[in-house]
Structure 1
């Protein structure tokens, strides 16, 4: 069946903008969504770049420090970690949980060779900070390396057209079980998301998400209306850089724009919407789940991908999480 995909050119542009702040050793995506920086090389003497080049532990003690502005810093032997672009890795004071988990991530790294999947939070946090600083400084050279917010938003928006959870398979697939599960799981989610995006509609008119029914539509492309695009873009414009990076990662992992919005809504204390990471991981890989239930898993493939999706989505949830207001 179709999954949430863009043209090869568009995917490469979005992947490039996402990857440019990541270290090669910090690539944390599953095999199907691996993103590697092809052109960006940073020669700045930062802890993250040193880790990339040495792939070995070079510190003794990891501590959490405090900046004058109240933000947290992660310190190696008393020196604050910097991002690949050389910016100090400051964690906002409303993300205390993230600060402690980042410190634990560096404390838990082995003294032998470092594996890419061991530092997912550092990778995402570095992108958040580098992308935010790029917009503040308005440096065109940095933006070329890390990406521009408007470009990222427009490319992410296109994933909504072919969202995994907006594609319904033929009714005969998996003896009818797949379509039955999609109707059961996707329909309520779509309706809830329509109500949510309506809040961002310029004219107050209800937002309706179009979907692809492979029984009646065949393999033609799906496309949202202009009204829907405007409302969803208004939503994207309301997000902080941290939330936008979290959304970006979730979209690339799950091939689903709605998956990213789900995680951000879960992190909003004022939003009653709730879907666990395990439930979301199942929804974005529903066809694979049902196929493996029927035919069994391929060792070191399906089982690894399943865990990798959950790990990636959980990392996104941590990035999006804010301490509860007192």
Structure 2
């Protein structure tokens, strides 16, 4: 089912307006979850993207926006603009599922395997689960849904 949904999305939506899909993914950059904490995984993921695209993906604390280098948005836009509609749909699903364009880039480009990318996208939640416990029928289902969405998107791309 996930592959059919990705195919239908590509044919019905992405092909018609690829620019909007690129914009939607870049919108995550300003509020990317990896920019709001100093978990070692997030630092490594930001570093990978910074090196890969020749920019600085910043981080911040508190209620403020991270400061990225001036060319960060343009570099990522140029890269995403090279995608086929099929690749862009898959990447968009990764970004939305992980709630992070930085995690999606690390997974898509092979810097992070599935398990690590999925874990990185829920690190704060995992910390809270450690304190307050896991809700069966919710957390376990969302974990599997995330893995299914990420894996099927990578296969689709």
Matched pairs, number:
157
Equivalent residue, structure 2, for 1:306? 143
Distance (Å, rounded) in 2 between the aligned partners of 1:221 and 1:189: 18
Distance (Å, rounded) in 1 between the aligned partners of 2:138 and 2:56: 37
The answer to which structure has the higher strand fraction is 1
- Would you identify which runs of 4 or more consecutive aligned residues in structure 1 move more than 4 Å? none
Match of 1:190 among 37, 43, 46: 46
Question: SS at 1:226's partner residue?
Answer: coil
Which consecutive residues of structure 1, in runs of 5 or more, have no partner in the other structure?
A: 1-118, 135-142, 169-178, 199-206, 267-272, 321-326
Equivalent residue, structure 2, for 1:317? 154
Aligned Cα root-mean-square deviation (Å): 1.7
Distance (Å, rounded) in 2 between the aligned partners of 1:264 and 1:243: 10
> 2:61 aligned with 1:224, yes or no?
no
For normalisation by structure 2, the TM-score amounts to 0.90
The answer to which structure has the higher helix fraction is 2
Per-residue CA deviation, residues 174-215 of structure 1 (Å, 9 max, x unaligned), is: xxxxx5xx0x211122111111112xxxxxxxx1112122xx
Match of 2:122 among 280, 285, 297: 285
Contact kept, 8 Å, 1:160 with 1:257, in 2: the verdict is: yes
Match of 1:262 among 97, 106, 116: 106
Per-residue CA deviation, residues 226-278 of structure 1 (Å, 9 max, x unaligned), is: 31111111111121211111111111111100122123212xxxxxx3x2111
Distance (Å, rounded) in 1 between the aligned partners of 2:23 and 2:69: 15
**Higher Cα Rg: structure 1 or 2?**
1
Which consecutive residues of structure 2, in runs of 5 or more, have no partner in the other structure?
A: none
Equivalent residue, structure 2, for 1:235? 79
Per-residue CA deviation, residues 273-296 of structure 1 (Å, 9 max, x unaligned), is: 3x2111111100001112212321
Question: SS at 1:212's partner residue?
Answer: coil
For normalisation by structure 1, the TM-score amounts to 0.45
Match of 1:276 among 104, 113, 123: 113
> 2:40 aligned with 1:158, yes or no?
no
Q: CA deviation at 1:131?
A: 4.2
Higher relative contact order (CA 8 A, sep 6+): 2
Equivalent residue, structure 2, for 1:124? 6
Equivalent residue, structure 1, for 2:91? 247
Distance (Å, rounded) in 2 between the aligned partners of 1:261 and 1:150: 18
Distance (Å, rounded) in 2 between the aligned partners of 1:286 and 1:224: 22
